[in-house]
Amino acid sequence: MSLTSVSTESAPAAIGPYSQAIWAGPFLYLSGQLGIDPKSGELAGPDLRAQAPQAMENLVNILAAAGLATTDVVSVDVYMTNMGQFSEFNEIYSSYFDTHKPARAAIGVASLPLGASVEVRCVACRTEAA
């Protein structure tokens, strides 16, 4: 099986030695996305309310660059520095996954790169019909 990286300017460039996403067979593994605006390279705002939609948009843009959509996502991991904002995150998240509900984990962490409030990563799968 060959591994192929995916990259798009519609999502922030990696801030370390990793790819935005990697194909492994029919599975696409997306690196964790912070709420970084790809144009400015800065966090979209100071808090979860500003950062979470941008993190989700970054995931959507990487999926699109790979020819996939949120309906192809099989699992999502969410890392939050304040689990007290879990319901607030769910409001934002559900606008991206309204009818399709992938498996998900939400993990509280002490800190994230660049002082971010939230990081979201996922695994998607290309189906035979694609």
Q: How far from chain centre, in Å, is Cα 130?
A: 21
CATH number at residue 44: 3.30.1330.40
Tokens at 90, concatenated: 């769910």
Q: Is residue 25 part of a domain?
A: yes
Contact 54, 104 (CB under 8 A): no
3-state secondary structure of 88: helix
pLDDT at residue 16, rounded to an integer: 87
Q: Span 101-130, mean pLDDT? A: 93
Domain range enclosing 47: 3-125
**How many domains would you assign to the chain?**
1
Work out the mean pLDDT of the chain and round it to a whole number.
96
Q: Per residue in 1-47, pLDDT tens? A: 789 999 999 999 988 899 999 999 999 999 999 999 999 999 999 99
Q: Is residue 40 part of a domain?
A: yes
pLDDT at residue 129, rounded to an integer: 57
Q: Is residue 43 part of a domain?
A: yes
Q: Is residue 130 part of a domain?
A: no
Q: Is residue 55 part of a domain?
A: yes
